[in-house]
Structures are given as structure tokens and as C-alpha cells.
């Protein structure tokens, strides 16, 4: 079950920590949005919805998903 939600106008990203395998793919692919060292570490305002959604789809574990 997702334990974090990140939203911008038309997009809600869910993160389920129990599924995350810490691949780091998200930060490598869209570092302006996915910032593991920052809080919040998902900054949806830093990119457009399509780019974020595209990166979310690359998560290998399904920890990241789109609502």
C-alpha cells in the first residue's frame, strides 16, 4: 500500500516504500524532481506531468505508480 502521495494539477504519484529496491533510477532519470537527499524528496513542481509520469513508469519495482 502506497504510503506517500505527491500531486500536481493532473497527476498524483504514489510511493510504496515496502516495494522500493533503492535502484536510484528515479533520481538518475529526473534529478530535478526526485531528490532523495531533500524533503520533500519528490518535487512535482520542477517538471511537467508527462515527464514525471514517464519516469514513474521506469520504476523497476512498482514502488512508484500513478494514481
Q: Under the rule (CB under 6 A), what is the footprint of ligand SF4? A: 20-26, 59-61, 63-64
CB of 10 to ligand SF4, least distance (A): 21
Q: What region, left, alpha or beta, does residue 36 occupy, with left being phi > 0 and alpha being psi -120 to 50 degrees?
A: alpha
SS3 30: coil
CB of 24 to ligand SF4, least distance (A): 5
Closer Cβ to ligand SF4, 31 or 60, answer by number: 60
Measure the CA–CA gap between 23 and 15, rounded to whole angstroms.
Answer: 14
Closer Cβ to ligand SF4, 24 or 31, answer by number: 24
Amino acid at each position: 500500500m502506497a504510503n506517500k502521495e505527491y500531486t500536481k494539477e493532473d497527476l498524483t504519484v504514489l510511493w510504496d516504500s515496502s516495494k522500493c529496491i533503492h535502484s536510484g533510477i528515479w533520481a538518475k532519470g529526473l534529478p530535478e524532481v526526485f531528490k532523495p537527499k531533500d524533503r520533500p524528496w519528490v518535487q512535482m513542481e520542477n517538471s511537467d506531468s508527462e515527464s514525471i509520469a514517464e519516469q514513474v513508469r521506469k520504476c523497476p519495482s512498482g514502488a512508484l505508480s500513478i494514481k
